[in-house]
Amino acid sequence: MKFAVIFGAKSYEHEISIVSAIALKKVLKNEPLFIFCDKFREFYLINGADMKANFFSSGKYKNAKKLTLKQGGFFAGGLLGEKKIEADAFINLVHGMDGEDGKIAALLEFYGLSYIGPRVEASALSYNKELTKLLAQKAGVKTLNYEVVSRIKAPSLPLPVILKPLRLGSSIGVSVIKDAGELEYGLDVAYEFDNIFTGAVINQGIPNLKLTGAYARVTDLRLGALQGDINFYLAEANYKIPVGDFKLGFDAMYKGSRTTDRLENLNYDGNMIGLRAGIYDFVGFSASYAYTTVGDNDALAFGLGNGPGSYTLLPIRGPFVFTGYAGMDVHKFLFSYDFKEVGADGLKAALHLVKGKQDAPHRNAGPTAAKTRMNVQGWGANLSYNIPWVKGLSAGVTYVELERKNFNARGRVKKTDNNELWLQLGYKFDLLN
């Protein structure tokens, strides 16, 4: 049987994976093929004689044959066309991100390739230490007391504590905190190696009122040649009042995004305000009106909260995520009906009506060029059904139409019609029960 070893990839354990592959070469009697994935997630076929640490650190690997992964396996290009790399099975030797989190496994399964390594589900659940502990506790395995912390939530457990990134191994970023003076440095070390941080607080102590505050940060985000951090903010209040046989609902929302370093050039430091009011559960009927507005010269990068566009987004993404554009004001009416009122339990229908108008920003702002703007109007309808004979299974159909008018700097208009029809099948399952 011919094996191929996949190693490297984009990970803080990139070098450890290279060392592991070199060590594997020394112990296997039948030398396998070696497929190197660099930090840009490009694949190369490496000769056995070149399996040395300095071959990779110096960048010489770029002179090796470049590979393409597609249906059937890895292929190398040539003057006479592509040639398949013959291997009966692949060994996933990628450490940390890309390997242990299930990405490589998912790629190999997607293209129908045999491999040695944990399956996708096991990788995803074991890579995140919080999920691992939850599963262990559910199975009755004793675990140490723990908590997930962030830059806005300090540890509350009594010292000493062991501090480590949520999604890393090999003791990278691990600190033993014995006194309060070591805590700040230990957190900085851990955050250096895990680039997505979230924190949220929800208060439902006041009857009928739900207050939510949330924060997320993504560090070292790369968009082409641009690189930096992006911060997301959410504050939301939801108030529903029972009135006889129905409910009155009132919602208010703030969303914000802030960028650093070269990402600031994209002008995604935007703010969105959203308001919504409606009548709900009136003999199966619900109706609401929503409004969102974004500041004039900075677009909003969506990252937290109730969907990408929150209150005013159409039911599916497609090309229709316009609600976060700089200077965009959007109005939306939503009407829905739950057919359980007439004996069809699990069957629901909804109609969305949307109209938006954008003020032209003075500068480039996210997807909008300076002194250009867009007006939109459209509608969407969806029908969904929870299939009763298979618990958790649902089916649905969604149709959306949107008319867009794009105005250039001279006021000339280009009209675009977007239509989408989606047939959807879903299944909900509980991993912990």
429 contact partners, CB below 8 Å, separation of at least 6? 392
List average pLDDT for each run of 10 residues in the chain, which is 433 residues long: 90 85 86 91 92 88 91 84 89 87 90 90 82 84 76 65 71 69 62 55 77 81 74 89 91 92 89 96 94 94 62 77 91 95 91 96 91 95 90 90 92 91 82 46
Instruction: Report how far residue 5's alpha carbon sits from residue 104's, in angstroms, rounded to the nearest whole number.
Output: 12
Instruction: Report how far residue 61's alpha carbon sits from residue 166's, in angstroms, rounded to the nearest whole number.
Output: 31
Dmax over Cα atoms in the chain, in whole Å? 80
CATH topology of domain 265-427: Porin (2.40.160)
Please, which residues bridge with residue 302 across strands? none
DSSP structure class, residue 103: H
Closest CA to 152 of 230, 216, 83: 216
Per-residue burial over 321-335, b if 16 or more Cβ lie within 10 Å, else e, is bbbbbbbbebebebe
Residue ranges of the domains in the chain? Answer: 3-127, 131-192, 265-427
> Is 3-127 a domain of CATH 3.30.300.30?
no
Do residues 403 and 415 make contact, with C-beta atoms less than 8 angstroms apart? yes
Q: Per the structure block, which two tokens stand in for 76?
A: 């190398």
Q: What is the pLDDT of residue 433?
A: 45
Do residues 196 and 166 make contact, with C-beta atoms less than 8 angstroms apart? no
Question: Is the overall model pTM greater than 0.85, yes or no?
Answer: no
Closest CA to 253 of 211, 302, 222: 211
Q: What is the dihedral of CA 174, 175, 176, 181, to 10 degrees?
A: -160
Q: What is the pLDDT of residue 407?
A: 94
Q: Per the structure block, which two tokens stand in for 167?
A: 């999604």
Q: Per the structure block, which two tokens stand in for 354?
A: 């949307």
Our measurement of the distance from residue 416's CA atom to the centroid of its chain's CA atoms, rounded to an integer in Å, reads 29
- Identify the CATH number of the domain defined by range 131-192: 3.30.1490
Q: At what angle do helices 103-110 and 120-127 cross, to 10 degrees?
A: 170
Tokens 């009548």 belong to which residue?
Answer: 279
**Residue 268 CB neighbours (<10 A):** 22
Instruction: Report how far residue 359's alpha carbon sits from residue 328's, in angstroms, rounded to the nearest whole number.
Output: 6
AA letter at 151: R
Do residues 262 and 227 make contact, with C-beta atoms less than 8 angstroms apart? yes
Closest CA to 72 of 80, 82, 57, 64: 82
DSSP structure class, residue 361: P
Q: What is the pLDDT of residue 184?
A: 61
Closest CA to 323 of 305, 336, 335, 337: 305
27 contact partners, CB below 8 Å, separation of at least 6? none
For the sheet with 65-70, list strands across it.
83-84, 73-76, 65-70, 43-46, 33-37, 3-8, 89-92, 115-116
